[in-house]
Amino acid sequence: MSDLVVDVLTGAVRGGTAIMFAALGETIAERAGVVNLGTEGSMLVGALGGYALAAETGSPWVGLVAGALAGGLLALVHAVMVVWRRSDQFATGLTVMFLGLGLTSLFGAAYVGRAAPGFDPVPVPLLADVPVLGEILFQHDPVTYLSFAAAPLLWWWLRSTRGGLLLRTAGERADVLHVHGYRPGLIRGAAVVAGGALAGIGGAQLATAYAHAWFEGMTAGRGFIAVALVIFAAWRPLWVMAGSYLFGAALALAPALQARGESLNQFALDALPFLITLAILAILGRRTLRAAPEELRRVFT
Amino acid sequence: MTTQLTPTPVASPLVSPGSGFAAAAGRWAGALAGAIAIFSVLLLAKGADPLATLGDMVVSMTTGASLEQIVIKAAPFVLAAMAVVLPARAGLANVGGEGQVIIGAVAGAGVGLVVSGPAALPLMLVAGALGGALWAGLAVALRVTVGVNEAVTTLLLNYVALDVMLYLIYEPWKDANGSGQPATPPLAIEQRLPLLGGTAVHAGIILALLAAAAVWLTLRHTAFGFRLAVTGGNPEAARRAGLPVARLLLTAMLLGGALAGLAGVIHLAGIEFKLRPGLTTNIGYIAFLAAWLARHNPLPAVAAAFMLAAITVGGDSLQLDSGLPAATVNVLMALILLAVLGWTAKRSPS
Amino acid sequence: MRKLTTLAVLLTLPLIACSANTTGTATAPTAGSTPPGKDSAAVGFIFVGPKDDFGYNQAAYQGSQEVAKAFPNLEVITAENVPEDDNAARVMNSMIAKGAKIIFATSYGHLDAALKVAAEHPDVAVVQQGNLITAAVPPNAGTFFGTVYEPVYLAGIAAGKATKTGKLGYVYAFPITQTIDNINAFELGAQSVNPDAQTFTVSTSSWCDPGKQAEAAANLLKQGVDVITQHQDCTATVIKATEAAGKFTVGYHADASAIAPKGWLTGSQWNWGPLYTDIVKTALGGTFTGSKYNDNFRVGYRTGENPFVQSPYGPLVDDATKAEIDKARELLKTSSPFAGPIKDQEGKVRIPEGTVPDYTTIEKIDYFVAGVVGSLPKS
């Protein structure tokens, strides 16, 4: 039994990392007042960009950078549309998702079935041998270790730096920025692009560290999950981290049980992550909405 | 670039009505031309001749059979687009069309399993509408009770709906006499929507157009429609004016869900006849975009639904005539949507 | 208001001219019509996934290209990502409009659409890959398939020989009959040389979700499984995970030994070209109706050239194992992996001793055999 818990938690970290990067990216965009349903698309182009460049250059690190660039570039479309062309955020995001889906299957065919070097697990010396925690946390790929730092870093950056303050103000009181000679639009656009880049890193992690393959549509809704996570985490990076692992755990539960010969309804297990997310949203309810950045509340109500 | 970056007041109205028709047509033509130009560049990158490719596509859309197919595809799009339009008037974003369509089809199929004879079809339609309403109701209940945003919950419920359907067709509802594939038994002839005189088009399109007309009437000419608009415009003001905001939101969303559920059941009873995996092939999402293309005006949304149906059908030509990958049509659709969303609205001066 | 009444009347008007929706159920006329597919100028192929998926669809696409090579004057029209619903009928109809009188619907779920198209076009031969027509077979339709579970059974022998833990893993998508047959045959093959071998099953509920596949493989490996095979449309993720763990791979769809140079044992893959070419030849000649393809045609080790072939061996398969597999292959020419006695997971005898079930019976198996770990939905 305890061994099941360890497996599920290890799986939670393994499978939650890609979602976490995307969700942290979405946190940045939403703190600046923009919802990006195109996160799913940014993850996809990141996955293809990451895998393709790893295959072409032989270095998964180059792939990771390419994934970030690709994800950011697709998010730029969303930024331009939403911030400067004032189009609707939900509809544009969904369209950007379709664009990412179309472009990646158009240009990704060549990389299906092609081998590419990826990130392999690197156990952290000493820590990896700590009972229980070592297996859950310290026997992963390098990108997963980066993700451990990403959420606290973002938390600190948003809280304690001038850049973080500007970003938050763009999401809360854009007119204040305006008075002080800043351009809220520019800050928002940059936030959306940075968010897309993080989603791209998530996609690249999925393709080059977790699945070690590229296939069209391989993100399978993880980008949408990321968007939902940000809301139930009330736009706080550390909660996003926890939420990503919770979702990863829900995903990891089915295979962990099945590999032990436990039979639970396949479709009920598949629905579980979504039901858990819904339940948490329902429980937290108004508390999350009160935490929403002011500009976002306009989008959401 | 610099001119675009000038700070502008936040949340200024997207559209101001009353712009000239000629100007609007010009913007649309410009946007479409831009989308097609970018698409042509992509075609060149894939080594295809843009002129021949697009020419073949347009020709392929105009044959009799294609026109029938466009109407068949458009029927659920129209209904599911209305499912976005109606709640949107009250300021609700219903991204859950896909799930509501699925549950509508599931409810219809469920009734079809137990009821036969002439009563079956009407009961299936009612059940489909109720099913869709129930699914949308879950999301809007969370919205009005605990204030969770409906865009997110409806999106999540889409995935749950799919699992509900898969469970049913792999387990209790699986056709015992089938060849083992996960699907319900086919609907009997009397459970199907009739065909319109001599064509392959089923009567679902009539229902869809009637529903669109009803939505248009409701929004434009009834007190209910007006209240929805007030609520959507400024909920706080509506509340202060004594409008029952929660009830209005609930009603709008339930009606929307019912329309999407109807879309599912007419798709089932008109053309598919069996619940099966992939039954809806993105009806809900495409309809969501159709509604936005039309900026939530019911009659233009009908036109947008037909346009997206036409692109889907015409998209076959990209593969069959020009040998391009299947995904090409997604790119074309996305480019057109972006162009229209971003460059056809008349902007208030900033 | 008057205008609205007129509108309503106009909209309801077509209802008066309604007819019963018998789509797909009309029987094709037989007498006097042209034989289906005769002298067709083109042949159409629809695939459910991308034609370069390195798996099921790519194999079918390669088959279509061999048809193009065999009949240089024939136009070969292909369409990928064709969903398993009425969209498939639309695409097939477009192909017919372009002159195709022979249509291959290559995915399991394309059957209903294929039958509908066949009913609408008596002069077009429509064949569907992998499913069964349970009612009377129309004169211009048919299904065909190989017995994929036979090479899977042979691969099971290699797995049973290779395993040290006695635990084999199977990653699958959905519990359709084809998959159930494969899982059972794999376990039966392993049991034939290793009576204690067990096959642990994990479903991903998706034909291709590499993330879920990675998790499935990781959990199987954690439970001590040391040979993994799968029934998925995209296969690289599971194979790479198994290879990275230093365990054995049994392939499916394609020879993927390149990405598992150490742990590759063998596998099953396709060679559709000869069968497709023969079907096209039969139809072009005007003799489709009444031919073996105008039926639920199955070909396997008992009847001739199985389009499913065993993949090449990897370096760690020893000669004794190869000899064992050769022996079994010979035996399959007269027998079946499902030759009785076959017991289900509860120990109940499902196929009695001495019975060699025919292909259709095997395609209706809806239980796991003893030794498979995991459960199937009850319907």
Residues 6+ apart with CB under 8 A from A125: none
CA distance C338 to C186: 11
Domain count, chain B: 1
Confidence of residue B5 (pLDDT cuts 50, 70, 90): very low
Domain count, chain A: 1
pLDDT at res. A201: 98
pLDDT at residue A42 tops 50: yes
3-state secondary structure of C19: strand
Average pLDDT over residues A13-22: 96
Is B47 part of a structural domain of the chain? yes
pLDDT at res. B9: 36
pLDDT at res. B76: 96
Cβ of B316 within 8 Å of Cβ of C22? The answer is: no
- Least CB–CB distance from B326: residue in C80, C90, C112: C80
- Least CB–CB distance from B338: residue in A81, A174, A298: A81
Q: How many contacts does A have with B, using Cβ atoms within 8 A? A: 164
Q: Which residues of A touch C211 (CB under 8 A)?
A: 15, 18, 206, 210-211, 218-220, 222, 251
Residues 6+ apart with CB under 8 A from A239: A232, A233
pLDDT at res. B233: 85
Cβ of A113 within 8 Å of Cβ of C223? The answer is: no
Question: Contact C84/B278 with Cβ under 8 angstroms?
Answer: yes
Cβ of C259 within 8 Å of Cβ of A251? The answer is: no
- Least CB–CB distance from A286: residue in B146, B326, B332: B146
CA distance C10 to A35: 43
Please give the order of strands across the beta sheet that includes C125-129: C75-79, C42-46, C100-105, C125-129, C141-146, C296-299
Specify burial of residue B141 (Cβ count, 10 A radius: 0-12, 13-18, 19+). Answer: middle
Mean pLDDT of chain C: 89
- A253-285 exposure pattern, b = at least 16 Cβ within 10 A, e = fewer: bbbbbbbbeeeeebbebbbbbbbbbbebbbebb
Q: For the segment B108-135, what is each residue's pLDDT rounded down to a tens digit? A: 999 999 999 899 999 999 999 999 999 9
pLDDT at res. C301: 85
Q: For the segment A150-182, what is each residue's pLDDT rounded down to a tens digit? A: 999 999 999 999 999 999 988 888 788 888 888
Confidence of residue B18 (pLDDT cuts 50, 70, 90): very low
Q: For the segment B265-303, what is each residue's pLDDT rounded down to a tens digit? A: 999 999 999 998 877 778 999 999 899 888 889 999 999
Nearest to C215 by CA among B136, A15, B90, B78: A15
3-state secondary structure of C254: coil
Average pLDDT over residues B56-62: 89
Residue B18 carries which DSSP code? -
Nearest to B343 by CA among B30, B39, B41: B30
Angle at B192 between CA B198 and CA C31, to 5 degrees: 50
CA distance A246 to A251: 9
Q: For the segment B224-269, what is each residue's pLDDT rounded down to a tens digit? A: 999 999 998 888 888 888 889 999 999 999 999 999 999 999 999 9
Question: Contact A194/A68 with Cβ under 8 angstroms?
Answer: no
Cβ of B342 within 8 Å of Cβ of A87? The answer is: yes
Tell me, what CATH number does A107's domain have? 1.10.3470
Mean pLDDT of chain A: 90
CA distance A74 to A32: 18
pLDDT at residue C279 tops 90: yes
Q: Which of the residue ranges B317-321, C74-78, C370-374 would you say has the lowest mean pLDDT?
A: B317-321
Cβ of C20 within 8 Å of Cβ of B203? The answer is: no
Question: Contact C354/C342 with Cβ under 8 angstroms?
Answer: no
Is B23 part of a structural domain of the chain? no
Q: Which of the residue ranges A92-96, B123-127, B135-139, C220-224 would you say has the lowest mean pLDDT?
A: A92-96
Confidence of residue C27 (pLDDT cuts 50, 70, 90): low
Token pair listed for C167: 């635990």
CA distance A248 to B103: 27
Is B11 part of a structural domain of the chain? no
Q: For the segment B218-231, what is each residue's pLDDT rounded down to a tens digit? A: 999 999 999 999 99
State the ipTM, two decimals: 0.91
Hey, what CATH class is C149-270+307-373 in?
Answer: alpha beta
- Least CB–CB distance from A281: residue in B148, B335, B345: B148
pLDDT at res. B14: 37
Mutate to test the interface with A, among C176, C222, C232 (most CBs of A within 10 A): C222
pLDDT at res. C378: 63
How many other C-beta atoms can be found within 10 angstroms of the C-beta atom of residue C354? Answer: 8
Question: Contact C342/C350 with Cβ under 8 angstroms?
Answer: yes
Q: Which domain holds residue A215?
A: 2-300
pLDDT at residue C209 tops 80: yes
CA distance B163 to C364: 25
Q: Which domain holds residue B91?
A: 34-343
CA distance C155 to C264: 11
CA distance C269 to C274: 14
CA distance B114 to A294: 51
Is B13 part of a structural domain of the chain? no
Q: Give me the phi and psi of C125, to 5 degrees please.
A: -90, 125
Token pair listed for A231: 């809301």
| Number of residues that make up chain B | 350
Residue C24 carries which DSSP code? T
Q: Which residues of C touch A210 (CB under 8 A)?
A: 210-211, 214
State the distance between the two ends of chain B, measured CA to CA, in whole angstroms. 16
A218 touches chain C (CB under 8 A): yes
pLDDT at res. C11: 54
- A205-222 exposure pattern, b = at least 16 Cβ within 10 A, e = fewer: bbbbbbbbbbbbbbbbbb
Amino acid C51 reads: K
Nearest to B15 by CA among A88, C34, C237: A88
Q: Which residues of A touch B326 (CB under 8 A)?
A: 105
Cβ of B276 within 8 Å of Cβ of C84? The answer is: yes
Confidence of residue A300 (pLDDT cuts 50, 70, 90): low
Question: Contact A85/B27 with Cβ under 8 angstroms?
Answer: no
Mean pLDDT of chain B: 87
pLDDT at res. B46: 83
Nearest to C128 by CA among C149, C147, C139, C112: C112
3-state secondary structure of C206: coil
Tell me, what CATH number does B253's domain have? 1.10.3470
Pairing of strands C342-343, C349-351: antiparallel
- Select, from the ranges A118-127, A230-239, B258-267, C23-32, the one with the highest average predicted confidence (pLDDT): B258-267
pLDDT at res. C16: 56
The interface residues of chain A toward chain C in range 92-131, judged by CB-CB distance below 8 A, are 105, 109-110, 112-113, 115, 118, 120
How many other C-beta atoms can be found within 10 angstroms of the C-beta atom of residue B36? Answer: 16
What residues does each domain of chain C span?
40-146+272-299, 149-270+307-373
pLDDT at residue A1 tops 70: no
Q: Give me the phi and psi of A32, to 5 degrees please.
A: -90, 0
CA distance B135 to B260: 10
Q: Higher pLDDT residue, B235 or B37?
A: B37
Q: How far is CA A32 from CA A19, A150, A171, A243, C254, in A?
A: 20, 18, 4, 21, 48
CA distance C353 to C339: 7
CA distance C200 to C218: 13
Q: How far is CA C61 from CA B74, C29, C233, C297, in A?
A: 31, 32, 14, 20
Q: At what angle do helices B64-89 and B298-320 cross, to 10 degrees?
A: 140
Q: For the segment C286-304, what is each residue's pLDDT rounded down to a tens digit? A: 999 999 999 999 888 888 7
Fold type of domain C40-146+272-299: Rossmann fold (3.40.50)
Residue by residue, DSSP assigns chain A as -HHHHHHHHHHHHHHHHHHHHHHHHHHHHHHTT---TTHHHHHHHHHHHHHHHHHHHS-HHHHHHHHHHHHHHHHHHHHIIIIIS---HHHHHHHHHHHHHHHHHHHHGGGTT---------PPTTGGGSTTHHHHHSSS-HHHHHHHHHHHHHHHHHHHSHHHHHHHHHHH-HHHHHHTT--HHHHHHHHHHHHHHHHHHHHHHIIIIIS-S--TTTTTTHHHHHHHHHHHTTT-HHHHHHHHHHHHHHHHHHHHHHTTT----HHHHHHHHHHHHHHHHHHHTHHHHHHS-HHHHHHH-
Tell me the shortest Cα–Cα distance from B192 to chain C, in angstroms: 6
pLDDT at residue A247 tops 70: yes
Token pair listed for B190: 């009397």
pLDDT at res. B148: 83
Question: Contact B340/C101 with Cβ under 8 angstroms?
Answer: no
Q: Give me the phi and psi of C141, to 5 degrees please.
A: -135, 170
pLDDT at res. B267: 95
Angle at B20 between CA B18 and CA B21, to 5 degrees: 110
State the distance between the two ends of chain A, measured CA to CA, in whole angstroms. 45
CA distance B235 to B63: 48
pLDDT at residue B3 tops 80: no
Residue with tokens 């372009």: C98
Question: Contact B146/A282 with Cβ under 8 angstroms?
Answer: yes
Q: Which of the residue ranges A225-229, A266-270, B3-7, B56-60 would you say has the lowest mean pLDDT?
A: B3-7
pLDDT at res. B175: 84
Token pair listed for B290: 């159709």
